Structure 1
Amino acid sequence: MKNVLLFGAGKSATCLIDYLLANAPRQKWHVTVADSDLLLIKSKIGKSYYATPAAFDIKDQTERQKLIQEADIVISLLPPGLHIIVAKDCIQFKKNLLTASYIDAETRKLAKDIQKAGVLFMYEMGLDPGIDHMSAMKLIHSIEKKGGQIYSFKSYCGGLISPESNDNPWQYKISWNARNVVLAGNSGAIYREKGKIKEVGYQQLFDQNKTVQIPGLGKLAYYPNRDSLGYIDVYNLGEIPTFMRATLRFPDFCEGWNALVKLGLTEDTTKVNTDNMTWFDWTTQHLTLDKSVAPEESLSAHLGVSSKSKLIRQIKYLGILSEEFVNLGEQTNASVLQQVLESKLKMEPHDKDMIVMLHEIEFERRNMATKMHSYMIVQGEDNLRTAMAKTVGLPLGILAKMLLQDKKIELTGLHVPVMPEIYLPVLRELEDFDIRFEEIFE
């Protein structure tokens, strides 16, 4: 019996664990789930005969290496900064490694060692990055095979709240790592538009007010991702004039988040002593307010809105205009805000999330310009089996199955899933889980 080793039992792991355990009897494999939280692991694996919990600190080298040596394949859903210690062990013990995270600088330095070990490290094998790469490359290869010349590529993806659960002024609830939500976009963005490099700073990122139309949903706002340019070569699009990857949100979210950024509440470098500080004082710590008017009126004036505006309702909803004390000790503003979001924007048991992805590709073929819209909408089941958990976890599970079945995948080295032998079977099986794309041509 083969052994699948999964590091991490958090929000994104639920549907992956379900998939691995559902396939275990037929595929004759056993699943070991490693996490520091034993109760969390048990809540995900239940009483399955095919699963074993392994509760320990990932930095415990002896226990970690013992599990990796016993594994036939390793999947990591750990926080990004912890992948590297797993990666080094996988090189040492010659184990294939799959993860949904971006390839970082430290991992890139290991590329020659990964190749020398003769193993496959497939990074960016989740949703975004992951399904975005696979679906984009399927379209790009198809267009190019038919003689089309692509001159504009835009890709958008967002983890959103489903319409029936959209019941707060932010039009958003947390369905994945809250810290990543707080820090999203903090390095600004760079992309290419009509042959020119465009750079957007963090302070301007959320006030672009740009939207795209999604069939059945209407207009969604977007902001460009941190570094689109790095993927031009990955997609083999050379000197393409327009190339951008972006994140989708409901428009109200971007307006509210823009205010939080301007107020300095997403800052993550300087620590603030929040003991004996009121929430209103924390929210307005960087402002010089007009003392002659009510505090809320003063804040409204600073933001350039009415005290009865939607923006003030959003800030009030988070509870950060109250005169109650914060009393969270010394923390960065981003850490405080994270705790606020986890409390005020949490998904309730009955809530459902939604993933929306859209590719807009403009190309010319036989002197005729064509614009293609390829979009995907995935609905979650509840606050555990979310659309986010499905779309992050299932691609990892499907590729793990392909590798364990010896599907003649001869890839070795460090990769992201842009090759047909990976994306074609993975996208095909994802359709069995209602994860599919629709296409519209103009």
Structure 2
Amino acid sequence: MKNILLFGAGKSATSLIDYLLTNAPRQKWHITVADQDLMLIKSKTGKSYYATPAAIDIKDPAVRQPLIQETDLVISLLPPQLHIIVARDCLQYKKNLLTASYIDPEVRKLEKEIEKAGLLFMYEMGLDPGIDHMSAMKLIHSIEKKGGQIFSFKSYCGGLISPDSIDNPWQYKISWNARNIVLAGSSGASFREKGKARELTYEQLFDHTKTIQVPGLGKLAFYPNRDSIGYMEAYKLENIATFMRATLRFPDFCEGWNALVKLGLTNDSTKIQTDNLTYFNWATQHLHLDKQLGHEDNMARFLGVSSKSKVIRQLRFLGLLNGEIINMGEQTNAAVLQHIVEDKLKMEPADKDMIVMLHEIEFERRNMATRMHSYMITQGEDNVRTAMAKTVGLPLGILAKLLLQEKITLTGLHIPVMPEIYNPVLRELEEFDIRFEESFE
């Protein structure tokens, strides 16, 4: 009997746990799910004979380390800042580690030790990052194998709400970690465009959104995502003129979020006292209010929009224009905003989310320029078995199976850009209707 230890039972863990438990009888696995919330674990594992819930404080080495010692494979869906403590334990106790999170500078320092120990630490093995890497590299390798010279690569991905479930002016509902949504883009973005390195600050990101046509959905807005340039080496496209990874949203979302950024409501660095503070006074803390104007007119004047505009409707929907008291004690603006969006933009039980991924690659072959589009649209089932949980969790589960079957011999610290990873994983993902359509022009 092989043992799998999963840290984290949150929104993204549902499909992963389902996959591991479905495969457990045939593969002779046992899964331990560790999280601080016992009821949350049990809601995901049910009464399965093949699952053991472990309600623990992840930060406590006295309970964390024995679990790692006793397992054959560790999967981490913890908040990003906690991965490093698990990674150090996995190195100490010689355990392979899989996670959907980005490679961070701290684990990068362990790279030589991981390789020396003969372990595999596979990071960025979820959706974005994850499926984006695998599907992109499959295309890139295929084009290059046929003699194509790539000169432009653009990759887009978004966790959206299905059009059938849109019922608010934001055209958005939360299907994953709300804190990550609030802080998305806060580090700005860098990418290459027509041979030049470009950088956008956080304040510029949502103010410079453009749109792209997606088959069956029409126009979606996008903004550059994090440090695209840092992936040019991993994709072995160091010398191409254009390279960008971007996040997709419905256009109305970007317009509204730009207003929240301008108001300073996504700031996570300074705490303010929210007891006896109204939502309107919180939202306008950086404004010079004209007492002769109403709430909506003051807000509209600052944002440079009409008081009857879509943006004002969006702020009204979040409750930012009323006189209700917050009463959350001392909090950062980002924490208050997270509390608001978790309430106002939550998915209802019957709501369905949607994942959209699109690669646009321009290349030259036999003196002929070609533009290729490869896209994937995946719908969720409800507000628990979401498309987000499916696309984040299944790649981890499939790779876990391959590792425990000893079909993968790769060692070291990696992201999934090599054929021995992406070929079998993408092949099995198609069994779950996660597949790409291609077109050329």
Which band: TM-score by shorter chain? Answer: over 0.9
Distance 2:11 2:231 in 1: 27
Match of 1:289 in 2: 289
Q: Distance in 1 between matches of 2:53 and 2:276?
A: 42
User: Is the partner of 1:98 in helix, strand or coil?
Assistant: strand
Q: Structure 1, unaligned stretches of length 5 or more?
A: none
Aligned to 1:26: 26
Distance 2:406 2:278 in 1: 60
Decide whether aligned partners of structure 1 residues 61 and 441 sit closer, same or farther in structure 2, where only a CA change above 3 A counts: same
- Aligned position for 1:382: 382
- Shift in Å at residue 391 of structure 1? 0.2
Tell me which amino acid in the other structure corresponds to 2:418.
Answer: M
> 5 Å matches for 1:22-61?
22-61=22-61
Aligned residues: 441
Determine the C-alpha separation between the residues in 2 that align with 1:295 and 1:139. Answer: 52
Task: Give, in angstroms, the shift of residue 276 of structure 1.
Answer: 1.1
CA RMSD between the two structures: 0.7
CA drift at 1:300: 1.1
1:65 and 2:65 matched: yes
Partner amino acid for 2:309? S
Q: Which residue of structure 2 lines up, in the alignment, with residue 430 of structure 1?
A: 429
Deviation at 1:209, TM superposition (A): 3.2
Q: Which residue is equivalent to 2:410? A: 411
> What does residue range 101-250 of structure 1 map to in structure 2 within 5 Å?
101-250=101-250
Could you tell me the percent identity over the aligned residues?
79
Distance 2:286 2:110 in 1: 43
- The answer to whether structure 1 residue 369 and structure 2 residue 369 are counterparts is yes
Q: Secondary structure at the match of 1:152?
A: strand
2:259 alignment partner in structure 1: 259
Structure 2 segments unaligned to the other structure (5+ residues): none
Q: Secondary structure at 1:129's aligned position in 2?
A: coil
Partner in structure 2 of residue 441 of structure 1: 440
In structure 2, the residue corresponding to 1:298 is in which secondary structure? Answer: helix
Task: Give SS of 1:135's match.
Answer: helix
**1:69, CA displacement in angstroms?**
1.1
| Structure 1 residue aligned with 2:94 | 94
SS at match of 2:381: coil
Runs of 4+ in 1 over 4 A off after TM superposition: none
1: CA distance between counterparts of 2:21 and 2:417?
27
Match of 1:359 in 2: 359
After superposition, give the CA deviation of every residue in 1:387-416 in whole Å (9 maximum; x if it has no partner): 000000000000000000111x22111000
The AA in structure 2 aligned to 1:433 is F
- Matched to 2:347, the amino acid is M
Render the CA deviation track for 1:194-225: whole Å, top value 9, x for unaligned.
Answer: 00011111111001130000000000000001
Q: Deviations over 1:355-395 (max 9, x none)?
A: 00000000000000000000000000000000000000000
Counterparts of 1:377 and 1:19, CA distance in 2? 21
Question: Distance between the aligned counterparts of 1:170 and 1:185, measured in 2?
Answer: 18
Displacement of 1:44 in angstroms is 0.3
Cα displacement (A) at 1:295: 2.5
Measured in 1, the distance between the counterparts of 2:97 and 2:209 equals 40
| CA deviation after TM superposition for structure 1 residue 63, in Å | 1.7
Are 2:5 and 1:5 equivalent residues in the alignment? yes
Distance 1:205 1:330 in 2: 29
- Output one character per residue of 1:294-323: Cα deviation in whole Å (capped at 9) or x when no partner: 222121122122211111000000011111
Query: Match of 1:314?
Result: 314
Contact 2:133 2:416 in 1 (8 A): yes
The DSSP-based 3-state class of the residue aligned with 1:233 is coil
